[in-house]
């Protein structure tokens, strides 16, 4: 009997190099009545099953406060699946899958609930030969983490026997600054080893995000150009037409910087700019990402004022509908000073990226949904075809993370005809048409990885800490400095405030149109 937190890892299957093979296990979702379970987690597990990748003996238990029978839980999930599953719902698959869904009602702080959970899981193990493997998914607010972890430990659910494993998946936010993240990680580490802690960032599970590494390191033509000698600047945009919906209280304590930049966009930036890892194991990849986050320039309050724009949406029109301003949203303070948009200019202070500006913007209530990275290469010398004053314009490589996932490259070409006229044209790769089938949802890939012990696409503790150090400088300048940069405003349905355009205009550049 092993009485320490399990140290599971699976070196043979680790990394992006091979398809993960999940091991049979019991999945337990804490917060099973929440939106994430209905919209993402169960549809993801169902689609893993539909693709034939979920071991037949894997069972899923929802743990939440509300009393409910297995049958009514299954019924609710069945309805949700019809709405949210990317492949719809096949009755044949659903019949088998739904029989493996269970519900366990308990307060999160009630020890009895965990003792009975342990007994249920043991019984399922015996029935199905799942060998004691457990995957706990904390789909709950951060205020619940500590209590659930302590109860799991008291009930011995973090302990394993005979080579089995117990892992925990933690949803963001991982703290609200470096100190709280540190305190949270300390608590987690008392119950689960770092190897068994999977901090989920669903952007890393997106197909195009994973393709950044493949494009860079499986092709010989890009890497020689991937540095300050050939790249002029980089733009990253994450735009969504949605407002804060029903998440007012969460968003009020977060804002766009903590909600999207500390995690998703920083992770994407790391994949884009890191050095080639020594191999494709989880730690080699994460070692390289960590170096990038550490090299992100930390800004003084004066630098924040010059390089970061924060803004909040006012009432406006999105998709032809009138929408409220942020301050009038449900459970948002009418005096709120929370940003729903951020744009900033940053630099990675290392050899490869010296002097290359990276512009990032993220916002809610934008006119369109779209996340993309645009790499602007330096222009050709100002002779021959580029001798005109206006210039030909740069080559631009674009990763469309979503929607319409793909990659395009803007190149200059001669327009057919007797005259010499040069025009930019696009070489375009679309996932949908090239591979003829929809990409799996991010949560499918990440759940599969967690079940197979591959942490490559999950954030490691030191990465999270380092990302907070970068964010904390900006938050500090906004909230603790005597002269903080003012909050700008933009009408819902616009591309953000004028100040964000000015940020690029000052460098002679403009934001790319999505
Ligand atoms: C979440 C944020 O992590 O990501 C949300 O909390 C945001 O505010 C969402 O809307 C965006 O995810 P996606 O996959 O729709 O781009």
The predicted pLDDT at position 142 comes to: 85
The predicted pLDDT at position 401 comes to: 95
Spans of all domains in the chain: 26-200, 208-441+461-505
Q: Look at the block and give the residue holding tokens 């092993």.
A: 2
Residue nearest to atom 2 of ligand 1 (CA): 259
The predicted pLDDT at position 19 comes to: 54
With CA atoms as reference, report the closest residue to 384 among 353, 358, 422, 356: 422
* Strands 134-138, 59-64: pairing kind: unpaired
Report in angstroms the alpha-carbon separations of 304 from 268, 360, 465. Answer: 22, 14, 20
Ligand 1 atom closest to the Cα of residue 251 is: 8
The predicted pLDDT at position 388 comes to: 81
- CATH topology (fold) of 208-441+461-505: Dihydrodipicolinate Reductase; domain 2 (3.30.360)
Nearest-angstrom CA–CA distance, 297 and 139: 33
The predicted pLDDT at position 10 comes to: 42
**CA 304 to centroid of ligand 1, rounded, Å:** 25
The predicted pLDDT at position 65 comes to: 95
Residue nearest to atom 8 of ligand 1 (CA): 259
Pocket test for ligand 1, best of 264, 267, 443, 446 (most atoms within 8 A of CB): 264
With CA atoms as reference, report the closest residue to 281 among 14, 9, 463: 14
Torsion of CA 445, 450, 455, 460, to 10 degrees: 110
**CA 245 to centroid of ligand 1, rounded, Å:** 12
**CA 242 to centroid of ligand 1, rounded, Å:** 10
The predicted pLDDT at position 143 comes to: 87
Tell which wins on pLDDT, 363 or 246: 363
Report in angstroms the alpha-carbon separations of 51 from 4, 55, 87, 90, 443. Answer: 35, 11, 10, 12, 14
Residue nearest to atom 9 of ligand 1 (CA): 260
Tell which wins on pLDDT, 21 or 442: 442
Across the strands, what pairs with 413? Answer: 423
Ligand 1 atom closest to the Cα of residue 250 is: 6
Residue pLDDT, tens place only, 141-171? 888 999 999 999 999 999 988 889 999 999 9
Ligand 1 atom closest to the Cα of residue 264 is: 3
Nearest-angstrom CA–CA distance, 367 and 239: 8
Q: Look at the block and give the residue holding tokens 């599953």.
A: 85
Q: Do domains 26-200 and 208-441+461-505 have the same CATH topology?
A: no
Nearest-angstrom CA–CA distance, 217 and 198: 25
Answer whether 240 contacts ligand 1 (Cβ < 6 A).
yes
Class of domain 26-200: alpha beta
Half-sphere exposure of 46 (CA within 13 A, CB side): 30
Q: Residue 20: which pLDDT band, with cuts at 50, 70 and 90? A: low
Nearest-angstrom CA–CA distance, 332 and 243: 12
Residue percentage of the chain with pLDDT more than 90: 85
Sheet holding 26-30, edge to edge: 101-105, 59-64, 26-30, 134-138, 166-170, 197-199
Answer whether 259 contacts ligand 1 (Cβ < 6 A).
yes
Report in angstroms the alpha-carbon separations of 418 from 255, 412, 421, 437. Answer: 56, 17, 9, 42
As a whole number, the mean pLDDT across the chain is 93
pLDDT at 470 over 60: yes
Ligand 1 atom closest to the Cα of residue 242 is: 10
Residue nearest to atom 6 of ligand 1 (CA): 259
The predicted pLDDT at position 432 comes to: 85
**CA 389 to centroid of ligand 1, rounded, Å:** 42
Q: Which residues contact 209 (CB under 8 A, 6 or more apart)?
A: 203, 267, 268, 271, 401
Answer whether 196 contacts ligand 1 (Cβ < 6 A).
no
Q: What mean pLDDT do residues 114-136 have?
A: 94
**CA 75 to centroid of ligand 1, rounded, Å:** 27
Report in angstroms the alpha-carbon separations of 26 from 113, 121, 131, 152, 385. Answer: 17, 7, 9, 14, 63
The predicted pLDDT at position 435 comes to: 87
Question: With helix as H, strand as E and coil as C, how does 169-180 read?
Answer: EECCCCCCCHHH
Residue percentage of the chain with pLDDT more than 70: 96
Active site residues: 264
Nearest-angstrom CA–CA distance, 201 and 250: 17
pLDDT at 486 over 80: yes
Q: Which residues contact 426 (CB under 8 A, 6 or more apart)?
A: 408, 409, 410, 411
The predicted pLDDT at position 12 comes to: 38
**CA 115 to centroid of ligand 1, rounded, Å:** 35
Q: Look at the block and give the residue holding tokens 């790499």.
A: 375
The predicted pLDDT at position 481 comes to: 87
**Distance of alpha carbon 16 from its chain centroid, rounded?**
17
Whole-prediction pTM value? 0.93
Residue pLDDT, tens place only, 266-304? 999 999 999 999 999 999 999 999 999 999 999 999 999
Cβ atoms 212, 271 nearer than 8 A: yes
Pocket test for ligand 1, best of 44, 170, 240 (most atoms within 8 A of CB): 240
């Amino acid at each position: 009997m092993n009485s320490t937190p399990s140290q599971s890892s699976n070196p043979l299957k680790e990394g992006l190099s091979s398809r993960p093979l999940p091991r049979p296990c019991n999945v337990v979702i804490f917060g099973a009545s929440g939106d994430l379970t209905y919209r993402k987690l169960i549809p993801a597990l169902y689609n893993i099953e539909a693709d034939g990748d979920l071991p037949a003996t894997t069972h899923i238990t929802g743990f939440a406060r509300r009393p409910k029978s297995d049958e009514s839980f299954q019924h609710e999930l069945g309805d949700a699946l019809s709405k949210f599953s990317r492949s719809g719902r096949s009755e044949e698959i659903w019949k088998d899958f739904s029989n493996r869904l269970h519900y366990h009602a308990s307060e999160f702080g009630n020890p009895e609930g965990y003792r009975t959970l342990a007994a249920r899981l043991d019984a399922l193990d015996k029935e199905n030969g799942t060998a004691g493997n457990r995957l706990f998914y904390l789909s709950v607010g951060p205020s619940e983490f500590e209590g659930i972890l302590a109860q799991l430990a008291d009930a011995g659910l973090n302990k394993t026997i005979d080579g089995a494993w117990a892992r925990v998946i933690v949803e963001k936010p991982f703290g609200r600054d470096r100190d709280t993240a540190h305190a949270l990680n300390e608590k987690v580490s008392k119950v689960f080893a770092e190897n068994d802690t999977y901090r989920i960032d669903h952007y890393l599970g997106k197909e195009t995000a994973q393709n950044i590494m493949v494009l860079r390191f499986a092709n010989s033509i890009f890497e020689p150009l991937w540095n300050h000698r050939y790249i002029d600047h980089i733009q990253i945009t994450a735009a969504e037409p949605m407002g804060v919906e029903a998440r007012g209280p969460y968003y009020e304590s977060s804002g766009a910087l903590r909600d999207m930049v500390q995690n998703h966009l920083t992770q994407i930036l790391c994949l884009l700019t890191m050095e080639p890892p020594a191999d494709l194991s989880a730690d080699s990849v994460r070692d390289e990402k960590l170096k990038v986050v550490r090299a992100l320039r930390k800004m003084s309050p004066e630098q924040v004022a010059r390089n970061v724009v924060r803004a909040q949406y006012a009432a406006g029109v999105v998709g032809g509908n009138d929408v409220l301003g942020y301050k009038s949203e449900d459970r948002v303070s009418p005096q709120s000073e929370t940003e729903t948009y951020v744009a900033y200019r940053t630099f990675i202070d290392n050899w490869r990226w010296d002097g290359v500006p990276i512009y990032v913007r993220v916002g809610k209530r934008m006119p369109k949904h779209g996340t993309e990275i645009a790499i602007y290469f330096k222009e050709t010398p100002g002779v021959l075809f580029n001798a005109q004053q206006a210039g030909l314009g740069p080559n631009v490589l674009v990763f469309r993370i979503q929607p319409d996932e793909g990659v395009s490259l803007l190149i200059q070409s001669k327009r057919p005809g007797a005259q010499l006229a040069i025009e930019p044209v696009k070489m375009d790769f679309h996932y949908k048409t090239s591979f003829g089938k929809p990409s799996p949802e991010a949560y499918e890939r990440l759940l599969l990885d967690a079940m197979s012990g591959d942490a490559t696409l999950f954030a490691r503790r030191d990465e999270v800490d380092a990302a907070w150090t970068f964010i904390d400088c900006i938050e500090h300048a906004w909230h603790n400095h005597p002269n903080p940069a003012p909050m700008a405003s933009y009408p819902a349905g616009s591309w953000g405030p004028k100040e964000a355009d000015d940020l690029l205009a000052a460098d002679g550049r403009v934001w790319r149109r999505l």
